[in-house]
Amino acid sequence: MEESLRQQILAVFPHSPVDIRTYSPMAFAFLGDAVYSLVIRTMVISKGNRQAEKLHNETSLLVRASTQAAIGESIQDLLTEEERSIYKRGKNANTAHHARSASYEDYQKATGLECLCGYLYLQDRTDRMLDLLREGTSRAGVIRKQEKGRT
């Protein structure tokens, strides 16, 4: 079986094993934000080489809180009880701030999605995470919206 990116990172850099059940929802969201961003950036750049500004603009449409909120809401019926619990923990986490460009509700939902992404990544369940993101982007129509906004 091929090692996941997470396993490869941990093999290269010294670490102490940690029980992920001890992590806060905001710790999951912290990591999930980066994982989600990597997925989106990989998807955007795979469409072909372009100026960095165009790559950034296209990526920005997909990583904003309102888009993440729409994706998170669209996959609720696909989540297992465990996944729904993780999403809700992230959504209900007491965040000290939220993006000025997003409503507080969208920011909470986006944090729930990021929390779920971080949790699934830490469990080496990236296949499940990618399936959910693929279905969520399709259901929420964000890929079509993003394609129309492309220059």
Phi, psi at 14, each rounded to 5°: -60, 140
What is the predicted pLDDT for the residue at 15? 87
Split the chain (151 residues) into runs of 10 and give each run's mean pLDDT. Answer: 89 90 96 98 95 95 96 98 98 77 91 98 96 97 62 41
The predicted model scores a pTM of 0.90
What is the predicted pLDDT for the residue at 98? 65
131 is catalytic: no
What is the predicted pLDDT for the residue at 19? 93
Query: In the chain, what are the domains?
Result: 21-148 (1.10.1520.10)
Spatial distance between the Cα atoms of 19 and 82, rounded to a whole number of angstroms:
16
Which is catalytic among the residues 19, 33, 77, 106? 33
Using H for helix, E for strand and C for coil, what is the string for 5-48?
HHHHHHHHCCCCCCCHHHCCHHHHHHHHHHHHHHHHHHHHHCCC
What is the predicted pLDDT for the residue at 94? 78
